[in-house]
Amino acid sequence: MRARGVRTMPENGPGQPAGDGRRGRRRDRRALLLAAAGLALTGSVLAGSLPPGPGHTATGRTGESGQAEHAAHTDDEPVPSAAREECQDGRDPDESYAPARIAGPAVSEIRERGQLVVGIDLNSYLWGYRSPQTGDIVGFDIDLVQAIAEDLLGPRPDIKYLAIPTDQRERAIQDGTVDMVVRTMSITCDRWERVAFSTAYFETGQQLLVPANSPIQGFDDSLDGMRVCRANGSTASKLLDAESHGAQVVGADNHLDCLVRVQLGLADALMTDDALAAGHVAQDPSMRLADEPLTRESYGVAMNLANTDLVSWVNAVLEDYRAPGPDGEPSEWRQSYDRWLARYLYDEETDPPPAPPLPQYRD
């Protein structure tokens, strides 16, 4: 079930790395078959009622060419509530500055300092947390920070990690406390007003997480009379404010506190994005994601609006980070994905191979 929730991610990410070719081919065949089935379905059923099924996935898998494919997806997105945000100027919030390694003032300052100061989260399992065994800060976000810092400062870079509360991320960037924030931070038009984002490095969406035996089917009338927990001030809280389907909303300081409440029977479900939900499932395998994601959003590295040179630099790092190695070995992105997330987000049997979202650049 949990795999269903993640399916959105690889949809627009076709980068199947070479390597496990045979399995890949087999899946290709199956995917094509399913695609055919999907097309047949499309023929017989009204387009609007087409459920997000295997056919959709198959389409995503066929092409290797980037942006057009991605756009096409957004167009025929079958879950209306999961529409991607579009900014007032008609731009996709995921669009960022073109990649370039030019040492402008911001990059130079970091290099002179010899230290990268990064705002992170220490409470998101798999993303950014402190391993109690080693005491090290680890996770998917942290791998990316390492890659950026190595690119900026050379091998064994000096990185200063600052744990930043959610509501202080933007301020820390604006007042220069940190050079960047890599902290499961969604790119939104609103945030673009105050901070700059790199290209997207992960795709996710809000989703309901419920105990395995829960009668809750998804974001629908099965929520009636249930208690749904969400972090105060989160995207989930906006969603639930707009439409609760008869659910009673329970607030908590953060998404992890919601998991505590569900485990203790003080809430019946929680809503957060599926990337963080993966961390929840990892910590409590008896939880499952219900139905499809309700939104589509991307994580980006947030930086100061003025530091366009740094943004471009990070985008250049991300280009390399997404690209498979010259000898066909998986990309750094994929390696990190496999290390942290694959076990919880990726079902080999049913899912297309995971791939990073494709970068979009401003003209």
Task: Select the residue interacting with another protein from 19, 78, 104, 165 (CB under 8 A).
Answer: 165
Task: Select the residue interacting with another protein from 37, 162, 239, 306 (CB under 8 A).
Answer: 162
Question: Radius of gyration over alpha carbons of the chain, in Å?
Answer: 20
How many residues lie near another protein (CB under 8 A)?
Answer: 32
Q: Is 360 in the site for another protein (CB under 8 A)?
A: no
Q: Which tokens belong to 303?
A: 């930086």
| Contact track, another protein, 99-118, x by CB under 8 A | ------------------x-
Task: Select the residue interacting with another protein from 80, 90, 132, 265 (CB under 8 A).
Answer: 132
If the CB atoms of residues 215 and 233 are measured against another protein, the closer one turns out to be 233
Site for another protein in 247-266 (CB under 8 A): 253-254, 256-257, 259-260, 263-264
| Contact track, another protein, 20-59, x by CB under 8 A | ----------------------------------------
Smallest distance, Å, CB 148 to another protein? 16
If the CB atoms of residues 43 and 132 are measured against another protein, the closer one turns out to be 132
Cβ 321 vs Cβ 201: under 8 Å: yes
If the CB atoms of residues 31 and 259 are measured against another protein, the closer one turns out to be 259
Smallest distance, Å, CB 161 to another protein? 5
The CA angle 21-27-29, to the nearest 5 degrees, is 105
> Which among 122-130, 140-148, 239-247, 348-356 is the span making contact with another protein, rule CB under 8 A?
122-130
SS3 of the chain: CHHHHHCHHHHCCCCCCCCCHHHHHHHHHHHHHHHHHHHHHHHHCCHHHCCCCHHHHHHHHHCCCCHHHHHHHHHCCCCHHHCECCCCCCCCCCCECCCCCCCCHHHHHHHHHCEEEEEECCEECCCEEECCCCCCEECHHHHHHHHHHHHHHCCCCEEEEEECCHHHHHHHHHCCCCCEECCCCECCHHHHCCEEECCCCEEECEEEEEECCCCCCCCCHHHCCCEEEEECCCHHHHHHHHCCCCCEEEEECCHHHHHHHHHCCCCCEEEEEHHHHHHHHHHCCCEEEECCCCCEEEECCEEECCCHHHHHHHHHHHHHHHCCCCCCCCCHHHHHHHHHCHHHHCCCCCCCCCCCCCCCECC
Smallest distance, Å, CB 52 to another protein? 30
Smallest distance, Å, CB 184 to another protein? 13
In sign, the C-alpha dihedral spanning 251, 255, 259, 262 is positive
Cβ 203 vs Cβ 358: under 8 Å: no
Smallest distance, Å, CB 117 to another protein? 8
Task: Select the residue interacting with another protein from 123, 198, 206, 234 (CB under 8 A).
Answer: 123
Smallest distance, Å, CB 119 to another protein? 9
Smallest distance, Å, CB 182 to another protein? 14
Q: Is 153 in the site for another protein (CB under 8 A)?
A: no
Q: Is 272 in the site for another protein (CB under 8 A)?
A: no
Smallest distance, Å, CB 169 to another protein? 11
Cβ 246 vs Cβ 224: under 8 Å: yes
If the CB atoms of residues 130 and 245 are measured against another protein, the closer one turns out to be 130
Task: Select the residue interacting with another protein from 91, 111, 130, 245 (CB under 8 A).
Answer: 130
Q: Is 339 in the site for another protein (CB under 8 A)?
A: no
Q: Footprint of another protein on this chain (CB under 8 A)?
A: 117, 121-125, 129-133, 135, 137, 160-165, 253-254, 256-257, 259-260, 263-264, 279-280, 282-284
